[in-house]
Structure 1
Amino acid sequence: MRFCPYVQRAMLVLIAKGIKHEVININLRSKPDWFFEKSPLGLVPSIETTDGKIIYESPIVCDYLNEAFPGTKLTPADPYAKAQQKILLEQFSMVTPILYNILMARKKNEDFTELKTKFFEKFKKFEEILTKRNTPYFGGESVSMIDYMIWPWFERFHISDVTEVLEKTPQIKTWCKLMMQNPAVKETFTEPDVITGFFKLFCEESLDAADYGLD
């Protein structure tokens, strides 16, 4: 689905590694029957290899693409460093549900002040991590898997009304600027007004939300 952050993870890896692929977008409010035959849980992203193998769940999809195809490896060769990236991803996975809850609160016109405070408290730990590592990226001196795995949510901060957190986290703000120069990020980037338009239709539970912005 064009606006799904989990899908963008897979797209970032496909593009970063130069993997030839075909994209078929699914309207998650109206999933076709054939999709469940390909992906029993109905989850995106799901990939089908040329020999018919089906893989889903974004971290698993991205790991598979990284290992199965040639080109630059996006994860460290050192097992400990690789484990550290996975630990950081697990920590970030505790932040994303708060963003989702903020979105749902906005959808229902409910007060989300407390949720924003909770988000800021958890998010500032990532500023501390990046400062301690003293590297431009969360994975080190160059973009790696962990950077791609967390990036999609930063493009969506504005619809959760949490963009001001970047003013309180200067290291992450600099990281964002660097990520915006990355070729894979540039290619998958969705303009804020387009995401906002999608979110408006999403809140209205419109079947057309997934197609927002298409000619």
Structure 2
Amino acid sequence: MKTYFRKTKLVAALSALSFFAAVSTSQAALLEIDFSKSGAFSGTTPSTPLNASDVFAKAIFDDGGGSGSVTLTMSVLNNLSTTGAYVKDWYFNVANAPLTGVAFTSGISTSDIDIGTNAFKANGTGGKFDFAFHFPGELVPGHTSVYTLTGAGITANSFNSVSVPAPNGGGYLGAIHVQGYQGTSAWISGQIGDPVSSPSQVPEPATLALLGLGFLGIGATRRRNK
């Protein structure tokens, strides 16, 4: 009887361990940088959105739970409804710059991409950034551009880095250049936002093995109870 009781407790412990291991899977990290008119540091902002704090463009960095490769999605929202307005330039920073590669994934593409280390000024006043994308008019409201960024050990959080200040200002997480409206343009800095998408759950091999042990333990318990 005592032996049976000990085995039953062991099986229950293994089952519980596998359950909690399955819950604690590796979690992908997301970093979102939002852009609104309230972040303008040069030029004249478009008439929309009417509320200066409303986000009209965003960049989301997703590392998929790993390192060395991060997906960047740049989006222009439909609330940038000023006639002719689009986002031409996007500037970002990365820890341990420069990136080792930038590859087009989907959406709108551009061949005009800069990669360096504290090398690119946003309008000469917005700091010195590590990499930038330049779209000649195509990234209009309702459109996205997706690229895969590669670099040694990079994760989504690697892009939570500010630019080196230029002589007249800077120190921004990111910057965009809005053009195409009313004969003018605006440079706008970004700030950390809250990603809408839920981080993906990626089960680890050890987790899967423990989960299997748990199922076997549950099966053994049922057979003994019968």
TM-score of the superposition, structure 2-length normalised? 0.24
Higher share in strand: 2
Higher share in helix: 1
TM-score of the superposition, structure 1-length normalised? 0.25
Greater relative contact order: 1 or 2 (C-alpha under 8 angstroms, separation 6 or more)?
Answer: 2
